[in-house]
Amino acid sequence: MRVHRPGKSLAGAALAALTLLLPLALAVPAGAAQDPGARKAPSPARGSASMGMGVVAHDGQGAAPGGVSGLAAQTEGVDVSSHNGNVDWATLWNSGVKWAYVKATEGTYYKNTSFTQQYNGSYNVGMIRGTYHFATPDTTTGAAQADYFVNNGGGWSKDGRTLPGALDIEWNPYGATCYGKTQAGMVAWIKDFLDRYKYRTGRDAVIYTATSWWTQCTGNYGGFASANPLWIARYASDVGTLPAGWGYYTMWQYTSTGPTVGDHNHFNGDYSRVQALANG
């Protein structure tokens, strides 16, 4: 008669289970079990978004960004936001920077805390300057954000020194890439903003975007190209493929690591073309 030994049976089962689990345990990165959240970067604070902050992460950065091969004339510009603080405008002007865009607003909840120094400072050294709005299509309507923008620094005047407002529409730094919208829904939101901005100012706003984001989130919609100047973001030696409809860019943000302030841009034309855009 065989005697059943439960202790021996349980020990064998435990050993078998350990054998199965050991390869799985070795496959888990060190520290993951102790800190599951370590692999997820924290979202930035609302209001801290700046033009092009998602370009490197999503599109990368090519070698020698900013090449202008084959182009007749380019005029250097910069874009700034609150993270730049007080900007040394005189140094930028003396280095050849002749135009600037300053972040004015984001959503309907944030105004640039350095706006006065940046907007007035660029003007005072002689630059042609304008303002931009960082869009958050998941928070309020396009029309509401256009009103907030115009009411807080996003207006336009035909003084020869003020560029039309720019809509910064790009990767969502706070959540889903396309802000939870379908491609048709995103196009409708952008149209709502642009229509309201033109109603308030009489000018067609500039659209700042990256081709990869535009393709993913609008379905590469080409319906704005006839009226709205394109400001393309690409940190490489050329601009690459442009979004549908636009045969050329008006401005190109080519780097986020330029001198004095990081974001530097080429205007596609000489200084007289910058003046022409300002004058409408």
The answer to whether position 4 is within a domain reads no
The answer, yes or no, to whether residue 58 has pLDDT greater than 50, is: yes
The answer to whether position 25 is within a domain reads no
The answer, yes or no, to whether residue 277 has pLDDT greater than 80, is: yes
Angle between helical axes of 183-201 and 142-151 (0-180°, round to 10): 30
Residue of 141, 143, 139, 118 lying closest to 130 (CA atoms)? 118
**pLDDT at residue number 30:** 34
- Please answer whether residues 132 and 103 qualify as being in contact, where contact means their C-beta atoms are separated by less than 8 angstroms: yes
Q: Which of the four pLDDT bands, split at 50, 70 and 90, describes residue 63?
A: low
Q: Which of the four pLDDT bands, split at 50, 70 and 90, describes residue 241?
A: very high
Q: What is the CATH number of the domain that holds 129?
A: 3.20.20.80
**pLDDT at residue number 9:** 45
Least confidently predicted of 12-21, 51-60, 194-203: 12-21
Selecting among 59, 147, 168, 263, the annotated active-site residue is 168
The answer to whether position 106 is within a domain reads yes
CA-based angle 11:17:20, to the nearest 5? 145
Q: Which residues pair with 166 in a beta bridge?
A: 132, 206
CA atoms in the 13 A half-sphere facing the CB of 217: 22
The answer to whether position 238 is within a domain reads yes
- Average pLDDT, integer, range 131-157: 98
**pLDDT at residue number 149:** 98
H or E element: which one contains 67? Answer: none
Cα separation, 161 vs 242, in Å, equals: 28
Selecting among 59, 106, 147, 170, the annotated active-site residue is 170
The answer to whether position 27 is within a domain reads no
106 flagged as catalytic? no
- Which structural domain range is residue 209 located in? 55-279
76 flagged as catalytic? no
Selecting among 79, 106, 204, 263, the annotated active-site residue is 79
What is the tally of structural domains in the chain? Answer: 1
The answer to whether position 269 is within a domain reads yes
What are the structure tokens assigned to 244, written together?
A: 């549908």
DSSP 43: P
In 59-140, the DSSP E strands lie at 75-80, 99-106, 110-111, 128-134
Cα separation, 89 vs 114, in Å, equals: 13
Considering only the C-alpha atoms of the chain, give the largest distance between any 2 of them, rounded to a whole number of Å.
Answer: 107
- Please answer whether residues 79 and 256 qualify as being in contact, where contact means their C-beta atoms are separated by less than 8 angstroms: no
Cα separation, 215 vs 29, in Å, equals: 34
270 flagged as catalytic? no
Q: Which of the four pLDDT bands, split at 50, 70 and 90, describes residue 52?
A: confident
The answer to whether position 7 is within a domain reads no
The answer, yes or no, to whether residue 267 has pLDDT greater than 50, is: yes
- Average pLDDT, integer, range 155-168: 97
The answer to whether position 90 is within a domain reads yes
**pLDDT at residue number 3:** 41
The answer, yes or no, to whether residue 135 has pLDDT greater than 90, is: yes
